[in-house]
């Protein structure tokens, strides 16, 4: 489980809410794994998380552009790399090549918490939020 706490807060109300939603979606997925949910249900949960991450990243990139954040390009690459990796997990899962496991959860969990606290925080600092 990934617990939201103040350490993740960037003081941008919309983005903080989106980050909380990502946490919730990851926890739902984790819950699904622990409950032994069906392959279809797990696929649905991971797809939901992936689609929401895409929307969140787009919103964030628009925001970074609006504040002329100099690290935008590098940050976009980080987002892209995550989406590629998460899509790969999803594709493998629906093609029956991989059972979505705690390893996948741990990758997503580690990536999200690290990304918010080190990468996202940079634009918050730049914008003096
Ligand atoms: Fe973010
Ligand atoms: Fe980001």
Residue 1 falls inside a structural domain: no
Question: Which residue segment(s) compose the domain that 49 sits in?
Answer: 12-126
Mean pLDDT for 73-88 is 97
Residue 73 falls inside a structural domain: yes
Q: How many separate domains does the chain show?
A: 1
CA atoms within 13 A on the CB side of 32: 23
Residue 51 falls inside a structural domain: yes
Dihedral angle, C-alpha 36, 41, 46, 48, nearest 10 °: -140
CATH number at residue 97: 1.20.120.50
User: Is residue 99 pLDDT above 80, yes or no?
Assistant: no
**pLDDT on residue 101:** 80
Residue 7 falls inside a structural domain: no
- 46 alpha carbon to ligand 2 midpoint, in Å? 19
Residue 63 falls inside a structural domain: yes
The structure tokens listed for 124 are 């918050």
**pLDDT on residue 98:** 74
Where would I find the H helices in 2-127? 13-35, 39-66, 72-94, 102-114, 121-126
Residues lying with their CB under 5 A of ligand 1, a single-atom ion: 120
Residue 3 falls inside a structural domain: no
21-35: pLDDT as tens digits: 999 999 999 999 899
User: Is residue 49 pLDDT above 80, yes or no?
Assistant: yes
**pLDDT on residue 84:** 97
- Supply the mean pLDDT for the chain: 94
Residue 80 falls inside a structural domain: yes
- 44 alpha carbon to ligand 1 midpoint, in Å? 22
Residue 68 falls inside a structural domain: yes
Rounded Cα distance, 94 and 100, in Å: 10
- 104 alpha carbon to ligand 1 midpoint, in Å? 19
User: Is residue 15 pLDDT above 80, yes or no?
Assistant: yes
């Amino acid at each position: 489980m990934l617990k939201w706490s103040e350490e993740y807060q960037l003081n941008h109300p919309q983005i903080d809410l989106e980050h909380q939603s990502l946490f919730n979606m990851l926890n739902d997925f984790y819950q699904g794994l622990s409950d032994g949910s069906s392959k279809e249900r797990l696929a649905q949960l991971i797809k939901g998380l992936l689609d929401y991450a895409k929307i969140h990243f787009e919103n964030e990139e628009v925001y970074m552009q609006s504040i002329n954040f100099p690290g935008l390009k590098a940050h976009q690459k980080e987002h892209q790399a995550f989406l590629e990796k998460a899509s790969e997990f999803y594709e493998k899962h629906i093609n029956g090549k991989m059972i979505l496991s705690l390893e996948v959860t741990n990758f997503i969990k580690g990536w999200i918490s690290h990304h918010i606290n080190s990468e996202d925080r940079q634009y918050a600092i730049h914008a003096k939020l």
